Each structure stands twice: as C-alpha cells, then as structure tokens.
Structure 1
Amino acid sequence: MPQIVTVGETMAAFTPGSTGFLRYVKNYEMRIAGAESNLAIGVSKLGHSAGWISCLGRDEFGEFVRNSIRAEGVDTSRVVFDPDYRTGIMFKQVRNASETSVFYYRENSAASHMHPRILDEDYLAQADVIHLTGITPVLGDSCRETVLAAMDLAGKHKKLISFDPNIRRKLWKDRDFVPMLRDMMFRAHIVLLGADEAEALLGVSEAGRIMDLLFEKGQARYVAVKDGARGAVVGDRDGLAAIPPFPCASIDPVGAGDAFNAAFLCGILEGRDVADCGRMGAVAGALATETYGDTEGYPSMEQMETAMKGEDIIYR
C-alpha cells in the first residue's frame, strides 16, 4: 500500500507550441496538471510509494490523465471514472519565460463532483501521510466534504495530515475561503505554504512568526514556508532553518511548489532532520523549473542523492 496518499483533481493540460497570446497559437501538446498528482509523481520518482484518489470523466481525456499518472509509478487503483461528468481541461499561455497564464475549463467536471464515498478507509489507514491541498475544497460542497472526511479518517487512524493551502484566486471567484483554509491548515501536522499565502491566511509574513502561530494554535509538527527564488524557511518544534535556493536555469516555475512538497515529505518518511527535508525540497523545486510541464523535471532518487552530496549532476 502507498506510503503517501493524496486526493484532488488532475486535468488534461494543453501547452502551446509557441509563446504569445493563445489566439495566435496553432499547435498544442497535451500533458497533465494537478497539484496533488504532481506531488504523488514527485514522491514516486524519489523512490517512495504514492497513491492518488480522484474522479475522472469516462472519456479519452480521463484515460489519458489516469494512464499518465500510472505510468510514473503512482497507484491509481482508487480512481473513479464518472459516466455523467467530463474530465476537466486547462490551457497554458506562455508570454515569456517569466509570465505564464492559465485558463481553466473545469466547471462541472467529474472531479468537482467528488464525494466522501470515493474514500476507501482501509486504503487511507495503511498510508503514513495523507496529503491534501486548498484547491480541492473550493471546487464545490461535495469536494469540501471529501477533504474533511479524509482529514477525519486520517485522525481516526493517527496518520500524518499534510496540507498545502495552494491558493487559487481564480477558483474563489467572489467567495472568501480564508476561514475554511485556515481551519484546515490548523488541523494539519505538516504545513507547506508560500510566504504570500501565510500573509493571506494568517496576516503575518515573517517565517518565525508563521511557525509560532502554526505550532501554538494548530497541530503542526513540521512547517515549510516557501518563497520561490529566495529559498525557504523550514522548522519543527525544536527550531527553524533557512534553506537557500538550489542553483538552476529556470524556464517554467509551474510545479515547483509541488516538487518541494514531495521531496520534503520524502525526507520526513526517511527520518531526516527538518533542515535536510528542506534542502531536499529546494533541490526538487529548482529542478522542476528547468523544463516545461509540471513534473517532467522532477528528480529521481539518484539525482537527489547526488545533489544532496553537493556533487554535480552529470547528464552526458
């Protein structure tokens, strides 16, 4: 059974064959995109087992998504194919190396109709970590109920809950989900968030203060505050450590946060100290930015070990 299980929507993602406004793009490549499946793939690439739970449409896009995730070694045996709703899709628009826009066509998708009945209690009970994000619960009432049910089951079986608020304002529309995401974050044992998200959810931006709040008011045992090219600060109840960015040649930042999360969780599974977990996250996040696509640049276990030893990664 998987060591890490995650729940959330993955879409078929169309990436343009050229930069510029999509109105001028003629060719696209189909990939997949979903924060939770990104993490599961990152975990699998690092030699640990991961399972992904979701709903997909009973359509060709759904088959493509499931097959793509399964091909990376992730267990997809608990994926449900829904005959009544379609698989969500999205389009990327790349203006230049530093400006990427995303257009979602996920309303009324199969995943937006996820419900607690898709959760296999025995399956979750055998995992070490249940990883959830703030994307899924804003997709609809049944999705919120599914995330809360997953948290309840994790609590019942004394499993670690990992949570990344992963704020997506486009999905919020005119609603305020801050109280809900803050409550979920306080229930998590591992909190993985961006510095800007901490400001939005907690009203503070200084890493030490963020951790104080999460350790005092919540159940957090490990916290990582990610700040992109500026690195990260990670901590547990014994202290915190500043993690410098790992050198890279970035061309696409999408997926970097999920890569960081995957490696950080793998470090916890391996019993590493929190600073080493953070360094693993920095390596994975940096390498993720060196390719187009969410997961194509995620490191293997061999690449991670090489980078953690301070050695150069030899490609040829």
Structure 2
Amino acid sequence: MSNIPSFVTIGEAMAMFVADSPGDLSHVNSFSRSLAGAEINVAIGIARLGIPSTYITKVGNDSFGDFIKHSIQHENIQTKYVLGSDTNATGFMLKSNVTDGSDPKVEYYRRNSAASTLNTDDIDSELFHPQPHLHLTGVSVAVSETLRRAAKKTLKLAKAQGCRVSFDTNLRPALWPDQATMIKEINDFAFASDIVLPGIEEGEILAGSDQPEAIADFYLSHGSQAVIVKLGSQGAYYKTNKGEFGTVAGFPVDTVVDTVGAGDSFAVGVISALLDGQDIAQAARRGNLLGSLTVQVRGDSEGLPTRDVLNQLEKVDKHEAQSTAL
C-alpha cells in the first residue's frame, strides 16, 4: 500500500458566470465564466499543492459539462469518476460583482441537475485503496436525496478502510425542506467524521451555541476527534479529543474583494497541513492563511496557491512570528 497521501471528495461542480461589472444581475450584460462548487474548490486547492486528488461527480453531456471536465483535467485532478448524463443537464450559477467587500448575490440553476442524480451505484469501493483523506461538505449532502445517500456510502466505505474524514458543515438552508431536517442530516455526517469544520454562525444553528468551545465540545461529545471553528477575520478556534485547544489568529486583509470560497480555502489549508504531518494548530493557521488569500481575489478558487507559493508564504509567516517573539 502506497504511503503517498491522497484526497477524495464528492459533490456538484457548476459553471459559474461572474458579472463583469457591479450592479443588479438583471442589468449586467457580460459575465466571465469559471468553475464553482464547494468540493471542487477544495479538490483544486489540494491538487495545486501536489497531492493526488480524485473528484466524484456527474455532469450533463453538454457544453457546461465539457467545460467542467476540461477544467478539472487542467487542475490535474483524477477524472475517472466524473460521470456523464444524457438525461440531466449540468448546473450553473450567476454571481454578482461587489466592490464593498460584502457577500455577492448568487443565483443557482441546479434543480434536477446531472449531479443531483449521482447515486450509490456510482461509488466504487476501490476509491479507498490506498487510504485517502475523504472530505465531505453540507452542500453535497443537501443537493438531493440520492447524492446524500452516495455521500453516506463514501463515508461508510472510508471509515471501514480506516481513512480520515473531514466534514465542512457548509449550510445551504434553501436546499433543505426545513431546518430540523437540515440540522439532523448535517449533524449525522459531522458526528461520523473525524474532523468537523463549522463556522461560528453555523455552530449556533447546529450546536445551539455561538461560543467556539461549546460548539467544539458538542461535536467532540458525539464522537468527532477534532473540531476547528471558523471565526472569520478573527481566525479559528480548535479543540481535540486529546485535550488540545486554542485560538489561532487570522491574517490581516487590507481589501476584501470576494468572500465566496473562503471556507473552502480554509478546508484546503487544514487538510493539506494534516496530510503534510502538521499538528492541529498548524493546520488551523494554514487554513486562516489560505482563506485570507481567497477573499482578496474575485473567484472561488483563483487565489489558491501552488506548493512553491505556499512554501514562500509560510516561510515569511514563520519569520515574522519569530521576529515578534524576539
């Protein structure tokens, strides 16, 4: 069995059209196309760091589907499990252009998409030989019941093979029939995962508290091994079932350009650091770093670095930390 760390995720990739100019989407005449989807954002970030990555999805046999497949191949992500559909189209989305650092408006066109038909028959148990890191999010499990069952199968297979599993709660209330169902389903996935990555506002909904330690304790008491609570510009709070805990400061950002994708970049930082053999505090620090890079550029994954760029950034961060200590 290979000792090279690898990565697997499952979800829905979409074609994204970002407005070229600010203003209401109904008044925008031109858009720039790119790739979007919480899980594919993470897969892109992991692959750019040289870690073998596999992405499971289904796209329509249409121009958007071809665009997604070509984009994934360009990022050196394994496409063996990027399946095609003759009956359902690829989903897409529109995103507004904002200039004041606020959250852009996003409109989704994904109902009955090809990815929503992904099912348990599409999951190959050979994915988990050798043992990869599996990453799941609350987005993929919300898209459809069949995709949720497929995600549950990947989780079950991964745990049976001794794989480490991370779960980003990533709430999308509009995709759920009601809040009670959302909370139950999301928490079932989180309880079965080794590492849980909730945001502070998500923690208030899912764990009933807006206090980072209480959110962490909630998931640790239900079987998770580590929890990192995202605190936005304030950084992140971590706690493990071994008693390790602490707050890791965020990175200052002069100008926030686009907040979408910051949580996915945080997950890239955490997962890649753990695959590199770093501890939980170092993983949270790298998560903060990559999140800060993403909010400074327009686009969900455009700010994610290569390994060489990351090494340089972390070298500077380590030097600054040592200078501050002196």
- Report what 1:49 is aligned to: 52
Matched, 1:74 2:77: yes
In the alignment of these two chains, the number of paired residues is 312
TM-score by length of 2: 0.91
Q: Describe the superposition over 1:51-99 as per-residue Cα deviations: whole angstroms up to 9, x where unpaired.
A: 1100000001001011112211211221101111000010012343313
* 2:21 counterpart of 1:18: yes
- Quote the RMSD (CA, aligned, Å): 1.8
Unpaired stretches in structure 2, ≥5 consecutive residues: 319-326
Equivalences for residues 3-42 of structure 1 within 5 A: 3-42=6-45
In 1: Cα distance, 2:26 partner to 2:154 partner: 41
Aligned match of 1:89: 92
**TM-score normalised to structure 1 length:** 0.94
Corresponding residue to 1:275 among 278, 281, 285: 281
Residue identity in the other structure for 1:177: M
1:1-316 equivalence runs, <5 A? 3-97=6-100, 98-174=102-178, 176-218=181-223, 220-236=224-240, 237-248=242-253, 249-310=255-316
Assess if the C-alpha contact under 8 Å between 1:279 and 1:308 holds in 2.
no
For 2:138 and 2:54, locate their aligned partners in 1 and report how far apart those are by CA, in whole Å: 18
Cα shift at 1:209: 1.6
1: CA distance, partners of 2:131 / 2:18: 34
**Structure 1 counterpart of 2:119, which letter?**
H
For residue 53 of structure 1, give the secondary structure of its aligned residue in structure 2. Answer: strand
Q: What one-letter code is carried by the residue in structure 2 that aligns with 1:191?
A: V
The 2-side partners of 1:311 and 1:131 are apart by 27
Look up the equivalent residue of 1:303 and give its one-letter code: V
Runs of 4+ in 1 over 6 A off after TM superposition: none
1:157 positional shift:
0.9
Question: SS where residue 221 of structure 2 aligns?
Answer: helix
C-alpha displacement at 1:174, in angstroms?
4.2
Secondary structure (helix, strand or coil) at the match of 1:292 reads: coil
Equivalent residue letter for 1:204:
S
Measure, in 2, the Cα distance between the counterparts of 1:17 and 1:184: 38
Residues 9, 54 of structure 2: 8 Å contact kept? yes
Cα drift, residue 247 of structure 1 = 2.4
State the 1:104 CA deviation: 0.5
Task: Please say if residues 103 and 259 of structure 2, whose CA atoms lie closer than 8 Å, have aligned partners that are also in contact.
Answer: no
**Structure-1 separation of matches of 2:246 and 2:75:** 32
Residues 137-174 of structure 1, C-alpha deviations (whole Å, 9 max, x = no match): 22222111111111111121111111111101222254
User: Percentage identity across aligned positions?
Assistant: 34
The 3-state SS of whatever aligns with 1:225 is strand
Secondary structure of 2:303's match? Answer: coil
Could you tell me how far 1:287 is from its partner in structure 2? 0.5
Segments of structure 1 that go 5 or more residues without pairing to the other structure are none
Q: CA deviation at 1:311?
A: 5.2
Cα separation, 2, equivalents of 1:231 and 1:179: 27
